[in-house]
Amino acid sequence: MSVSIAIVGAGPAGFYAAAALIKSDADCRVDMIEALPTPFGLVRAGVAPDHQSTKGVIRAFAKTAADPRVAFFGNVRLGQDVSLAELRKLYDTVILAVGAPVDRSLGIPGGDLRGVYGAAAFVGWYNGHPRFGDLAPDLETPSVCVIGNGNVALDVARVLVKTPEEMSASDLADHAARTIHGAPIRDVYVIGRRGPVEAKFTNKELSELGDLGGCVPLVDPAQLTAEVPADLSDRDRRQREKNLATLREFAGRRPDEKPKRLHFVFYARPAAVLGEERVTALRLERTRVEGGRAVGTGETIDVPCGAVIAAIGYRMEEIEGVPMEPGAGVVRNDEGRVDNGLYVVGWARRGPTGVIGTNKADGDLVAARIAKENAAGGKPGRAGLEASLRARGVRWVSFAAWRRIDAAEVAAAPPGAPRRKLIRIKDMLDILENGAATVTKM
């Protein structure tokens, strides 16, 4: 009897797990349950809109979805349309692939002022994620601070300073294009609490900033004197040496080369967001790095700005009945196993690090464990879920239905762009009801 498996979340972690399961010899049926009508998680709503080549992995995911053993249940929200307890009753095995969709908090005075946004929300907004469609960030300012020295901070900074022409082959959401390209932004500050050697940027993403059409990257050469520690792996050392070389090149650039400037500010940790009703400046405390940690010096500087975007990492949303690892923001698990018949993969398992492909190993690991531990089938699986959703009047979106939404987005694309994203779930469902969306004005 085939084993019924539910995967909650249809992002990279969910798709790699599904692919590993159908590749293994296990006789299984795999149902992917996703809150949005759209699949692919962060590949659609996290990967930067101007990094279309990274989104090519969707082709492999679509192949997995097309396997007759796999079904997609989009527009089905865990905890609202179906509970975890119910899924565990209906399926022999449940895999949580829910990611880390919310922002970690800055935890400094003024952190909740108007004009302060977390990167999960901000990136979701410019990528057309329905949850953040109404964010309406106020970017009516010449100067924006982006906190964090990871690739998300670079994505945000780059999207803010690229010209409309540079974004024309992207799928930047319409509302975001209007706001960003209509904004008077001239200076973007990318702020690291440690030094250039500790920054988590990958070099490809960092060096890309040296070739922007309308923006010059700048850094104070006095901040580039630290040496790359000798005790790193060869790979890490090479990466950091390349970053230092790129930053040294940026240090020789002239501020008046281009209309906009992207400033790297190292050794500065956020101390407070200043302003009455909205942000007017970010107060930073100067740091030095001791034993790899940022230590405050007591000296502060204020960077005048009208918006602050904190790209300081993501966390998962807790799920009722699922144990969390104290202080780590991930599901407590033993190599992917949470409990009998319950597993976890991706960022919910190991935290928000790594690239899309990192999830493949997670999928392989869990598929191998499931093959070993859950030989018996017998639970109702797909038929049970469909009956339960029907009884509740939940309108789920199949993969074939998603393809119709996809086709409508592609057909509506402006010249040169891959698609024009629909932002409202209602508009997506309208495509399925009426063949055309009555696109909600945003």
Residues that bind ligand NAP (CB under 6 A): 147-153, 155, 192-194, 198, 200, 202, 205, 269-270, 311-313, 352-355
Asked if residue 370 lies in contact with residue 361, where contact means CB atoms within 8 angstroms, the answer is no
Please identify which residue in the block is written with the tokens 């969910």. 14
Minimum CB distance to ligand NAP smaller for 52 or for 398: 52
Minimum CB distance to ligand NAP smaller for 193 or for 263: 193
Cα separation values, 247 from 228, 426, 438, Å = 13, 45, 47
Residue 120 to residue 336: CA distance in whole angstroms: 25
Beta carbon of residue 191, minimum distance to ligand NAP (angstroms, whole number):
7
Collapsed DSSP state (helix, strand, coil) of residue 172: coil
Minimum CB distance to ligand NAP smaller for 91 or for 126: 126
Beta carbon of residue 392, minimum distance to ligand NAP (angstroms, whole number):
35
Q: How many CA atoms lie within 13 A of 219 on its CB side?
A: 26
Tokens of 372: 């070993």
Beta carbon of residue 8, minimum distance to ligand NAP (angstroms, whole number):
21
Beta carbon of residue 120, minimum distance to ligand NAP (angstroms, whole number):
9
Beta carbon of residue 79, minimum distance to ligand NAP (angstroms, whole number):
25
Beta carbon of residue 192, minimum distance to ligand NAP (angstroms, whole number):
6
Question: In terms of Cα–Cα distance, which of 106, 44, 70, 84 is closest to 421?
Answer: 44
Beta carbon of residue 201, minimum distance to ligand NAP (angstroms, whole number):
8
Minimum CB distance to ligand NAP smaller for 80 or for 105: 105
Question: In terms of Cα–Cα distance, which of 101, 96, 90, 100 is closest to 132?
Answer: 101
- List the beta bridge partners of residue 166: none
Minimum CB distance to ligand NAP smaller for 355 or for 407: 355
Question: In terms of Cα–Cα distance, which of 177, 126, 186 is closest to 156?
Answer: 126
Beta carbon of residue 308, minimum distance to ligand NAP (angstroms, whole number):
11
**Beta pairing class for 28-33 and 3-8:** parallel
Beta carbon of residue 439, minimum distance to ligand NAP (angstroms, whole number):
29
Minimum CB distance to ligand NAP smaller for 65 or for 356: 356
Residue 306 to residue 392: CA distance in whole angstroms: 46
Residue 343 to residue 361: CA distance in whole angstroms: 14
Asked if residue 337 lies in contact with residue 374, where contact means CB atoms within 8 angstroms, the answer is no
Minimum CB distance to ligand NAP smaller for 12 or for 37: 12
**DSSP character at residue 373:** H
Q: What's 75-142 look like in SS3? A: CCCECCCECHHHHHHHCCEEEECCCCCEECCCCCCCCCCECEEEHHHHHHHHCCCHHHCCCCCCCCCC
Beta carbon of residue 150, minimum distance to ligand NAP (angstroms, whole number):
2
Beta carbon of residue 425, minimum distance to ligand NAP (angstroms, whole number):
25
Tokens of 390: 């029907």
Beta carbon of residue 376, minimum distance to ligand NAP (angstroms, whole number):
37
Minimum CB distance to ligand NAP smaller for 341 or for 363: 363
Minimum CB distance to ligand NAP smaller for 210 or for 384: 210
Minimum CB distance to ligand NAP smaller for 150 or for 381: 150
Asked if residue 16 lies in contact with residue 63, where contact means CB atoms within 8 angstroms, the answer is no
Task: Please write down the long-range contacts of 423-430, taking CB distance under 8 Å and 24 or more positions apart.
Answer: 423/128, 423/129, 423/130, 423/133, 423/173, 423/175, 424/130, 424/133, 425/36, 425/37, 425/75, 425/130, 428/37, 428/38, 428/397, 429/37, 429/75, 429/395, 429/397
Minimum CB distance to ligand NAP smaller for 41 or for 148: 148
Residue number with the smallest Cβ distance to ligand NAP: 150
Residue 308 to residue 273: CA distance in whole angstroms: 8
Minimum CB distance to ligand NAP smaller for 270 or for 341: 270
